[in-house]
Structure 1
Amino acid sequence: MLGKAKAAWGELTDDDLTKAEGRVEKLTGLIQERYGKTRQQAELEVRRFFDSNRDF
């Protein structure tokens, strides 16, 4: 799933994604910070990402 997350959010490093450890709150914060999105926008992206990758 790390590869899919990297493809979805290319500005996040492997280290960022490893530190997030699949935690929604941490990943949401990283996306919000790196992409300048609102908390709500970042949460929606993360939710959609995990929903579409449930089989992992």
Structure 2
Amino acid sequence: MNWDQVEGNWKDLKGSIREKWAKLTDDDMELVAGKKDRIVGKLQERYGFAKDRAEAELDQYIASMDKDRRSSMS
């Protein structure tokens, strides 16, 4: 799943992302609106992650969601 797809499906994905990172608030999720740089910034702010770690965890999570989505389609 690329970031255009994440942004396009934000309403569906934000709940799942919030489950993964519960320290993110509803206001955070509305503010980031699927923008990767904003989500990374919020992960840094709420969890104290370094930028590289926040990006890596987010990329890994989005990739795992994509794998799950493809598996359910088979």
**TM tier, smaller:** 0.7 to 0.9
Name segments (4+ residues, structure 1) moved above 6 Å.
none
Q: 1:4 is matched by which residue type in structure 2?
A: S
% identity of equivalent residues: 33
SS where residue 18 of structure 2 aligns?
A: helix
Q: Which of 21, 25, 37 does residue 37 from structure 2 map onto?
A: 25
More helix by share: 2
Separation in structure 2 between the aligned mates of residue 34 and residue 4 of structure 1, nearest angstrom: 17
Number of residue-to-residue matches in the alignment: 55
How far apart are 1:13 and its partner, in Å?
A: 0.4
Structure 1 runs not aligned, ≥5 long: none
Q: TM-score of the superposition, structure 1-length normalised?
A: 0.86
Q: TM-score of the superposition, structure 2-length normalised?
A: 0.67
Structure 2 runs not aligned, ≥5 long: 1-12, 70-74
